[in-house]
Structure 1
Amino acid sequence: MYISEKIKQAITYDAIVIGSGISGGWAAMELCKKGLKVLLLERGRDVKHIVDYPTAMLNPWDFKLGFNNTAKDREDDPIQSQSYTPADKHFYVRDKEHPYIQEKPFNWIRGYQVGGKSLTWGRHCYRLSDLDFEANAKDGIAIDWPIRYKDLEQWYSYVETYIGISGRRENLPHLPDGEFLPPWNLNCVEEHLRDSIKKHDPVRVLTNARLANLTKTLEGRGPCQERNLCSRGCPFGGYFSSNSATIPAALATGNLTLRPFSIVAEILYDEQQQRAAGVSVIDAISKERLEFFSKIVFVNASTIATTSILLQSVSSRFPDGLGNDSGQLGHNLMDHTAAAGAYGILYDLYSDKYYKGRRPEGFFIPRFRNLKDGENLGFKRGYNFQGHGERQEWGDRSRYMVNEFGKDFKAKLTTPGPWTVWMQGWGECLPYYTNRISLSDDKKDQWGLPLVKIHFSYGDNESKMIDDIRKTSAEMLTQAGFKDIDSFKYNRPGGSAIHEMGTARMGHDPETSVLNQFNQVHAVKNVFVTDGSCMTSSGSQNPSLTYMALTARACAFAVAELKKQNI
């Protein structure tokens, strides 16, 4: 019971955004720019652009053990330490402090701070096409997306223009071009591979990776300094993050209240009004319970955390989680496969060529499998390749020179080795109902909230696709004259690509989906979900650009509906 209506008004906002990562930062900025008073909740600490990047300017020799994690790191953080190094460890959670239950192996990589994983993301930005949006319907798998490319095209352009993406136009219908800044130049061995691929199979295209790194100054950010130290946080604003772009823009409007250390326990549902009233928050430090109220709620806590919040939000109307009339909430978890590829050495060519700087991007080979109906490959959907070419350095060859010393040894170490290419496939994961997250009935975290349980495994389709990735990557290197080819296959569990998606999917029918075509919860019209949990299928492309475009679109729709008093 509140002491007075005046006190309640002080904690009431037009909108509450849960999560400050890539999609949450966009939601906060868009809603603030449209004049709404916004409360942005982040469960972790505050990270301010530039001042809170402690390792950004350190040299390799400034790290006591180099970039090697210790045995204690691996013991204390068996999951997170697979992704972090001493240079960016501070942007990842501690596994012991934030446990979860793996019913089947799944690497849940997390960054609990203002900016979330936008500080450490890979920055690859690719549009989905109707090849992706129509795939479920054509294959008879899961449910159809409620949107098509034309619905998102203008929003892709809107987002790309703001964040700044370097890339090259290729005029491929299955990988639509975007609003690009000039790309970096491919180096000679990447051009060599590109020309060979084009010669042997014109359907396959090697192009520059499309990356949210600025090749020229944009909105006071950048340009990229080609240091390739992005995961430490960039003092130059050379790559897009919530911290360098959207959150400062939201704060500049005067409409944003940012509250870190705020763990959302549930979304409050008003039974009489049949809408969300606000959120219940646990202060991460004091563990005090607080409530905040708003007209609309955007849930952008990242796929698994978002769905756990929805599952925790129970009422007599929604005993199985907010908006879970369909029973689909928590199901259809997806993550790209990143488990196979090839490495090769190109001897005796381009020995007079080298490169300057450490450009942050490599090359990208868009999907070339199952582009046409009727291909009989033994699996559905497809994959892309991401890779890079470089010359061997002293570290690559010193292990073969353990018995050498003296002048000749020094000369060998300081002379660049032959050119090499490494490439790895990112494969689409189908939406399986059995891949799911749920909440523990008896195990709680330190704030009294139920632990998340994750049950995930790749299917036969993904396994066959991985085998094809291994075969085609080795084939392309062989055709290009590479030797000593190692076609590798990792035994990596789900989550390793850090592209978790699904669990609160979009769809036409409230009986089979959680969200509608505007990312509204079907049964709770003032709640929107625009992070990875909304995805109906995964495509093979890195998904973050799609999250941002969906968020901008949903914000425009939400504000328009508010003005019409429809929500």
Structure 2
Amino acid sequence: MTEDTIKEHPTTYDAIVIGTGISGGWAAKELCENGLKTLVLDRGRMVKHIEDYPTMHTDPWDLKHRGKVNPDEVKGQTKERRSGFINSYSGHWFANYEDHPYNESKGFDWLRGYHVGGRSIMWGRQSYRLSDMDFEANKKDGHGVDWPIRYNDIAPWYDKVETFIGVSGQNLGLSHLPDGKLSDPMELNCAEKDLQESLKGKFDDNRLLMIGRVANKTGNAMHEGRSNCQFRSRCVRGCPFGGYFSSNSSTLPAAERTGNMHLRANSIAYEIVYDEKTGLASGVKIIDAETHEKIFFKASIIFNCASAIGSTSILLQSKSKRFPNGMGNDSGELGHNLMDHHYGVGASAEIEGFEDSYYKGKRPNGFYIPRFRNLGDAKTETKEFIRGYGYQGGASRSNWKKSVAELSFGKDLKDEILKPGTWTIGMTGFGECLPYHENKVSLNYDILDKWGLPTLDMDAEFKENELKMQQDMMNQAVAMLKAAGYKNVKGRIGKPIPGSCIHEMGTARMGHSPKTSVLNKHNQIHAVPNVYVTDGACMTSSACQNPSLTYMALTARAANHAAAEFKKNKTS
């Protein structure tokens, strides 16, 4: 189909939001609640809350091979399955590589959710604030560019987001992990409490353990259309109770209640159109995923929330006389500074004792050990690397026993398999990645997808600082478990692959200057102020905390800024 066969839609919207995930859902909610007529686009199929969660009540015995996947039966998700996240309960949420190819030179796991709600359905829900230590890090150590905001700029928006989505957890008064608007914390089990106690006084850097802060609803606060977490730990399938936050259960219904949202699924946004006369974007071009029809939608404001890599891909494709290398790419930084947390390194152990103790339900959350390296004092400083890491982990009792089939039939079998096993405990580190210019994503016009759009080349790797940090992450995990007196302590470390943590960030970073960054302090493209980018693409550094809470807070802040500017321009 040629450019001259693009159909122009007759409606001019106040705003268009590209993407319906963590960020897009929040942009839709805030813009619609501010009275803006908003078109919300998603490249994937429609997913309606509750009715479109096919495995929400599925038990192991309902599936072939009890959910275990036969490698011969895997089609199209060969790359995606490397991460270990995809199984028979959740595979339908993850994009099929054969239909949505990408190219990797050094190894990159790009896990995508191409449906309404995006990865907000499958996310890990860990919700931590960034601190001034994180916002100031680039400026202090000279890596990357300085963030154009500080903690006080975003703190009120963290408050708003946490209150709406429902984050449970503990406040501990840590300057490097700011307190939040939290509901009742979930409870640590006895083995986790034992490790919590054992850390006290055994390390001079004041490391501590707490229950994770997680966007699973607890307490008495009312959230329309949602009930409290039911402790089923089936979150990745879609929660029919709305026990955790997702766009489908929360922000999109809020936007729909205003009457201002028009949601269009199966709409692949591929270009934001630049108007040379006004110096602004005039709208968005899409391809209908099913009919391959091309349509141009007009709007006064564009929110690009298609995921870090997805949003940057759209900007790179949005070429014009003014922007021959992609919209907003005056700095040459568009597509660069790709980051992800490195993880998959830590330790595990067996715990003797507590044989008379168990726990109720399947808590969808673990413990968290906040960062204790390089906090700005002598006790926490290390010469081996800069920045730091935190840990997530948990303890449980195994409820199975290895047995030989030929010997497993007998009168004692039923009693044996029902006995809980020994306690085991483990933790995994999540480390900060520096914003390296050479870690990048770019367009490949030689390999096109089935809609005729360029695929993406991923070129990223973890470097010396991250690898040295990984070694310390394992060593300290082992040290903590040994200090607690646990048995069979085993450290683990492997080659980290970017993307596998599913925390991809950067590629359209915020900054003070259009010479070194793509976005300003309000998430606007420096040279095209009616285009906002508020997903992971905007991140200037990665910190070590799970980033989704920050995406939501930045989006809420930017959407309210956009709405205020829109109303001001309308009355002037």
TM range (shorter): over 0.9
Structure 1: gaps spanning 5 or more residues: 1-6
Please name the residue that 2:483 is paired with: 479
Offset of 1:93 from its aligned partner?
A: 0.9
Please name the residue that 1:525 is paired with: 529
- Which of residues 542, 550, 556 in structure 1 aligns to 2:546? 542
The one-letter amino acid of 2:88's match is: P
Please name the residue that 2:53 is paired with: 53
Matching of residues 212-291 of structure 1 within 5 Å: 212-216=215-219, 218-220=222-224, 221-291=226-296
Please name the residue that 1:441 is paired with: 445
> Partners in 2 of 1:178 and 1:360 — Cα distance?
20
The 8 Å contact of residues 128 and 149 in structure 1, kept in 2 or not, is answered as yes
> Partners in 2 of 1:189 and 1:293 — Cα distance?
57
- Per-residue CA deviations over 1:396-441 (Å, capped at 9, x if unaligned) read x416898665345554432111211111000000000010000013
The 8 Å contact of residues 339 and 466 in structure 1, kept in 2 or not, is answered as no
Q: Which moved more, 1:309-318 or 1:76-85?
A: 76-85
- Per-residue CA deviations over 1:214-233 (Å, capped at 9, x if unaligned) read 11363231211100000110
- 1:206 pairs with 2:181: no
> Partners in 2 of 1:24 and 1:72 — Cα distance?
36
Please name the residue that 1:354 is paired with: 358
Please name the residue that 2:432 is paired with: 428
> Partners in 1 of 2:267 and 2:320 — Cα distance?
22
Matching of residues 546-557 of structure 1 within 5 Å: 546-557=550-561
> Partners in 2 of 1:401 and 1:382 — Cα distance?
47
> Partners in 2 of 1:65 and 1:494 — Cα distance?
31
> Partners in 1 of 2:491 and 2:435 — Cα distance?
28
> Normalization by structure 1: what TM-score?
0.96
> Partners in 2 of 1:170 and 1:364 — Cα distance?
12
Offset of 1:491 from its aligned partner?
A: 2.8
Q: Secondary structure at the match of 1:398?
A: coil
> Partners in 2 of 1:527 and 1:72 — Cα distance?
45
Offset of 1:556 from its aligned partner?
A: 1.1
Please name the residue that 1:180 is paired with: 182
- 1:313 pairs with 2:318: yes
Q: Which moved more, 1:541-550 or 1:400-409?
A: 400-409
Q: Secondary structure at the match of 2:274?
A: strand
- 1:386 pairs with 2:389: no
Across the aligned residues of Structure 1 and Structure 2, the Cα RMSD in angstroms comes to 1.9
Please name the residue that 1:68 is paired with: 68
> Partners in 1 of 2:411 and 2:389 — Cα distance?
47
The 8 Å contact of residues 398 and 413 in structure 1, kept in 2 or not, is answered as no
- Which of residues 474, 495, 498 in structure 2 aligns to 1:491? 495
The 8 Å contact of residues 164 and 218 in structure 1, kept in 2 or not, is answered as no
Offset of 1:561 from its aligned partner?
A: 1.4
Q: Secondary structure at the match of 2:281?
A: strand
> Partners in 2 of 1:208 and 1:121 — Cα distance?
18
Q: Secondary structure at the match of 1:563?
A: helix
> Partners in 1 of 2:45 and 2:61 — Cα distance?
28
> Partners in 2 of 1:458 and 1:60 — Cα distance?
37
Q: Could you tell me the percent identity over the aligned residues?
A: 53
The one-letter amino acid of 1:80's match is: E
The 8 Å contact of residues 313 and 443 in structure 2, kept in 1 or not, is answered as yes
> Partners in 2 of 1:505 and 1:8 — Cα distance?
31
- 1:301 pairs with 2:306: yes
> Partners in 1 of 2:59 and 2:417 — Cα distance?
21
> Partners in 1 of 2:325 and 2:199 — Cα distance?
51
> Partners in 2 of 1:302 and 1:275 — Cα distance?
22
> Partners in 1 of 2:390 and 2:49 — Cα distance?
33
- Which of residues 99, 102, 108 in structure 2 aligns to 1:100? 102
Q: Which moved more, 1:79-88 or 1:518-527?
A: 79-88
The 8 Å contact of residues 276 and 527 in structure 1, kept in 2 or not, is answered as yes
- 1:327 pairs with 2:332: yes
The one-letter amino acid of 2:249's match is: S
- Per-residue CA deviations over 1:119-169 (Å, capped at 9, x if unaligned) read 000000000001100001111111100000000111000100000000011
Offset of 1:373 from its aligned partner?
A: 4.9
Please name the residue that 1:450 is paired with: 454
- Per-residue CA deviations over 1:489-514 (Å, capped at 9, x if unaligned) read 13341101000000000000110000
The one-letter amino acid of 2:503's match is: H
The 8 Å contact of residues 373 and 382 in structure 2, kept in 1 or not, is answered as no
Offset of 1:11 from its aligned partner?
A: 2.2
Q: Which moved more, 1:78-87 or 1:331-340?
A: 78-87
- Per-residue CA deviations over 1:458-500 (Å, capped at 9, x if unaligned) read 0000000110010000110111111011111133411010000
- Per-residue CA deviations over 1:254-286 (Å, capped at 9, x if unaligned) read 000000000012000000111000011100011
> Partners in 1 of 2:476 and 2:143 — Cα distance?
26
Please name the residue that 2:349 is paired with: 344
Instruction: Indicate how the Cα distance of structure 1 residues 436 and 262 shifts in structure 2: closer, same or farther if over 3 A, else same.
Output: same
Q: Secondary structure at the match of 2:134?
A: helix
> Partners in 2 of 1:456 and 1:365 — Cα distance?
28
Q: Which moved more, 1:43-52 or 1:191-200?
A: 191-200
The one-letter amino acid of 1:87's match is: Y
The 8 Å contact of residues 211 and 361 in structure 1, kept in 2 or not, is answered as yes
Instruction: Indicate how the Cα distance of structure 1 residues 429 and 400 shifts in structure 2: closer, same or farther if over 3 A, else same.
Output: farther
Instruction: Indicate how the Cα distance of structure 1 residues 403 and 487 shifts in structure 2: closer, same or farther if over 3 A, else same.
Output: farther
Q: Secondary structure at the match of 1:15?
A: strand
Offset of 1:377 from its aligned partner?
A: 3.3
Offset of 1:442 from its aligned partner?
A: 1.5
- Per-residue CA deviations over 1:64-119 (Å, capped at 9, x if unaligned) read 12221221354531122232111111111111100001122100000000000000
Matching of residues 142-157 of structure 1 within 5 Å: 142-157=144-159
> Partners in 2 of 1:232 and 1:75 — Cα distance?
20
The one-letter amino acid of 2:507's match is: T
Q: Secondary structure at the match of 2:66?
A: coil
Please name the residue that 1:511 is paired with: 515
Please name the residue that 1:417 is paired with: 421
Offset of 1:246 from its aligned partner?
A: 0.4
